[in-house]
Structure 1
Amino acid sequence: MPATKRKKKTNAPSTESARTTEELEMEIFILETKKAIQQAYQQGVEDGMKRFFYPPVLTKKDLMEIMQIELSTVTKVVAHPTFPKLSPVQASYPRDEVFAWIKRNTSLKSWMSLTNLMLNA
């Protein structure tokens, strides 16, 4: 009977299994990236729906809801010289400019300054 050579077993992973591991890691990365993109897209849709849910011209009632403040505070906020207003119509505020104003004034320092102005008014 002829002698057969046996392959020696090693603990090191074969090239084939290492490649498979890399492929699995890449697949996981792709799936996680797709999930993150989907979540970001969904959040963008929700943010857009909230913003454009309101009519192009806002009322004080809309501002109360958007800013989650009382009417007396809305009155003080809209009295601020930089707050956007529609001149010909009293108590009417352009939606897109209001949201831009809110974005510009959402830092803690801006709100503290605005709060001090309102308290002193």
Structure 2
Amino acid sequence: MEFKDRLKQLRQERAMTQEQLAHALDIPPATIRRLETAADSLPRKERLQNIADFFSVQIDYLVGRTNDRISIDKNYSNINVAYFGGAKEELTEEEAARLKEELEMFRLLKEKKMREKDNNKA
């Protein structure tokens, strides 16, 4: 699957229009349209990273080098850094899993509020 297809699929999974995605990423809507239609179009590195971060996927997934959306961090080191701000304390696996669930719920709630806000504007 090409970048254009993955971008469109991720956007549709979130039930977003191209305009809503452009607004969320702070880029022109024409850029999203081009990225979803042009077979050889890739965004510059910074924009690619922003798209990956927004959808919580790897850049390698976006560009088609892997089918794994996210890298699995068995040691939960990313969660430890996020939770402790870089401290060396370790969360237990159970604590890290719980924190990861809470962060995902927060992200989903934020997306829902964004969609509701956009629907109220229309």
Q: State the TM-score, normalizing by the size of structure 2.
A: 0.33
Please say which structure displays the higher CA radius of gyration.
1
Q: State the TM-score, normalizing by the size of structure 1.
A: 0.33
